[in-house]
Structure 1
Amino acid sequence: MELVNGQRVLGLLQLPVATVGAGLAVFGSRALVRLPPPATGGLFGPAIALLTLSLVVWAGLFLLPLGLLIPPTGRYGIEFDDNQRRLLMSTTITVAIGPFAGVGMAFVTPWIVPQTLTLSTCVALLPLGATLLWRAGQALRSHAA
């Protein structure tokens, strides 16, 4: 009986980890947009909801490129070239560092934190989107030829 190779098992996790990340990002973003404005009674509940959903989006945007960076196993998964992997890594780093920049700027003014988090999220989506479109274009060209 052949023992299962660790790299093979890890390769099988590429698409599930990326899918969970995408799901968390979409669910969290959708819920953030649908949050009602805070009532006049208090801000604690809405602040906790905003923070929790922001963490869900952050976790999703962190897991998505991290999952895609896992090398695929055989025919299961998506193979990225070195330049595409660099873009995915830049997305992961941007998502990881963005909240710390926002929290660090909270000492200047507390209202800059949501703006910094939104900006870092948008910046993180640029290389991720470029990488996925680039890979999709390669796949379409290879199937058309």
Structure 2
Amino acid sequence: MTLLHDGPIFADYFQFLLQDAALRERPAPPWDEATLADGVVAMPGLLAFATARNMQVPVAAELLPAEPALDLGGVDHAVEASLESRGMLILAGGTDYLPTAARLPVPAGPLRVRLLCRGLDRLSEDGLAGEDSYRLLLWPAALAGVAVLKRHG
């Protein structure tokens, strides 16, 4: 396991993004009722993940050599999606300036990305503070569709 990122991301518009650094633009994720329930929008070269707050949220990203065992203990929501990479990903909030956003070196080719969300029900009354956290697990794998492993609510 290689830790790629462990720190806050500004989840403006209740989202953060993982995108191939070769993309020249940041396309707007087409959120709708179904993708909000799933917690992810998958687009060519970009994944957008929904968050419980539109503030700084803790995000960890780990690169693994192969698919990890599925452990959903203490997880509120879990979803997987695929992303094609040219060897460098950008991890950013919805409005972050991409040239200065976190860079994650990964193998070129298709990756599977699992998002594990915890603490989604532990927010302050005003929704500004909370104990929510987001963990991304990435590993080389053939492209596949979105899979909700555990649905919150």
Shorter-chain TM range is: under 0.3
Q: Which has the larger radius of gyration?
A: 1
More strand per residue? 2
Highest relative contact order (Cα 8 Å, sep 6+), 1 or 2?
A: 2
More helix per residue? 1
